[in-house]
Amino acid sequence: MNFKDALRIIGLALAAVASAQAQTIPGENYPLRPIRLIVGYSPGGGSDIVARMLSKKLAERLGQPVIVENKTGAAGMIGAEYVTRAKPDGYTLLFASSGMMTTNPVIYKKVPYSASSFVPISTAVSFPFILLVNAQQPITTLQELLAYWKAKPESATFSGAGGIHQLAFALFKSATGNAGDFIPYRGTSEAIIPVMAGNVLMTIADSGPASSALTGGRVRALAVTSPRRLAAYPNIPTFAEAGLPEMEIQSWYGLVAPAGTPMAIVRKVQQEMHQIVKMKDFEQFASTLQMIPQDSTSEQFAKMIASDLARWRAVAKASNIEAVD
């Protein structure tokens, strides 16, 4: 054996050792190529906007491009199902919403995934809902709304975008002992319009769209579902302050990966998320959308998903809300 052959054999051996180490320690050198971040909703919506900001931050920290791909339809289920079929290697992630993970399985009969189809990585942001009525109504507080509701039950109509809004109204009725009709609309912004027009009594809107409506002055905010008052609206009391702690509701966006993704990769992305949500520019970005930066460990995220899912299943069962096709 000559010297060149010896060097070649040594080189091959070192390469084999390096390959074996990479297989033994998944994620040690992750990522080695671009990551795909799947969004189940249309471009330009709230989830898409947050996902694109997050993809930029992750790319900067991980040293590889993070490419957002919108796979829309079926209340986010098309995108979610797509990720369940991806190789669990950390290169295809889902920008999950609370709707995808905790209300779709309650509202729809045929959901092509379950919580066990994914391994949670970390939450990214959370956001509450704001109870709105028409600004011309003689209703300025939650207690006045409840008195009006009791006196005129035939006028107790509630608009919403389905899913979480329908379940939130069912919870509201249960907590107050009142009755009323839920009127579904295609989106939150669309559900606010009949309240502004005076055709519907109330709605509980995502904090972002609610903020836009409040700016116009045609709706009045009575309460917010967050545990604390919003910094942007310190004069809006929480439901708990108004006597209805049962109405604390937080929606969220976060990252999940296909089940079977190595925990070393999950931990690495989670650690980067922990740093990103603390960045001043990310906090400022989230605040413009009336959202709150919020990270978590994989275990904390999994517990939150399970808790929210159990909660909404109980609400649906108590309110006789049947899943639809």
Predicted local distance difference test score (pLDDT) of residue 187: 85
Predicted local distance difference test score (pLDDT) of residue 155: 85
pLDDT band at 11 (very low <50, low <70, confident <90, very high): low
- Of 2 and 304, the structure prediction assigns the larger pLDDT to 304
Asked if residue 194 lies in contact with residue 158, where contact means CB atoms within 8 angstroms, the answer is no
pLDDT tens-digit readout, 211-260? 888 988 999 999 999 999 998 899 999 999 989 999 999 999 999 999 99
Predicted local distance difference test score (pLDDT) of residue 7: 47
pLDDT higher than 80, residue 15: no
pTM of the model: 0.87
pLDDT band at 27 (very low <50, low <70, confident <90, very high): confident
Asked if residue 159 lies in contact with residue 186, where contact means CB atoms within 8 angstroms, the answer is no
Side chain identity, residue 4: K
Question: Domain range spanning residue 42?
Answer: 35-127+251-318
- Give the bridge partners for 233, in sequence order: 230
Q: What sign has the CA pseudo-torsion 191, 194, 197, 200?
A: negative
The structure tokens 């092509």 sit at: 112
Predicted local distance difference test score (pLDDT) of residue 276: 97
Residue 140 sits in the same domain as residue 106: no
pLDDT higher than 60, residue 6: no
Q: 3-state class of 149 per DSSP?
A: helix
pLDDT higher than 50, residue 17: no
**CA separation for the pair 147, 126 (Å, rounded):** 31
Residue 208 sits in the same domain as residue 238: yes
Residue 261 sits in the same domain as residue 300: yes
pLDDT higher than 80, residue 21: no
**pLDDT over 70 percentage in the chain:** 92
Whole-angstrom CA distances from 262 to 30, 117, 184, 301 are 11, 14, 41, 17
- Assess if residue 3 is contained within a domain: no
Predicted local distance difference test score (pLDDT) of residue 122: 98
- Of 208 and 35, the structure prediction assigns the larger pLDDT to 35
Residue 180 sits in the same domain as residue 121: no
Predicted local distance difference test score (pLDDT) of residue 5: 55
Predicted local distance difference test score (pLDDT) of residue 216: 87
Predicted local distance difference test score (pLDDT) of residue 207: 85
pLDDT higher than 80, residue 312: yes
pLDDT tens-digit readout, 114-169? 999 999 999 999 999 999 999 999 999 999 999 999 999 888 999 998 799 999 99
Residue 116 sits in the same domain as residue 258: yes
Of 224, 247, 270, the last residue of a domain is 247
pLDDT tens-digit readout, 236-245? 999 999 899 9
Query: What CATH number does residue 87 fall under?
Result: 3.40.190.150
Residue 237 sits in the same domain as residue 134: yes
**CA separation for the pair 179, 96 (Å, rounded):** 33
Residue 115 sits in the same domain as residue 263: yes
pLDDT tens-digit readout, 45-95? 889 999 999 999 999 999 999 999 999 999 999 999 999 999 999 999 999
pLDDT tens-digit readout, 163-199? 999 999 999 999 999 999 999 998 888 999 999 999 9
Pick the closest to residue 130 from 287, 251, 46, 6 (CA basis): 251
Asked if residue 48 lies in contact with residue 39, where contact means CB atoms within 8 angstroms, the answer is yes
- Assess if residue 233 is contained within a domain: yes
CB neighbour list of residue 164: distance below 8 Å, 6 or more residues apart: 98, 99, 103, 249, 251, 312
Asked if residue 112 lies in contact with residue 202, where contact means CB atoms within 8 angstroms, the answer is no
CB neighbour list of residue 77: distance below 8 Å, 6 or more residues apart: 40, 100, 104, 108, 111, 112, 113
* Number of domains the chain contains: 2
Q: Which residues of 123-140 are buried (b: 16+ CB within 10 A; e: fewer)?
A: bbbbbbbbbbbbbebebe
- Assess if residue 276 is contained within a domain: yes
pLDDT higher than 60, residue 14: no
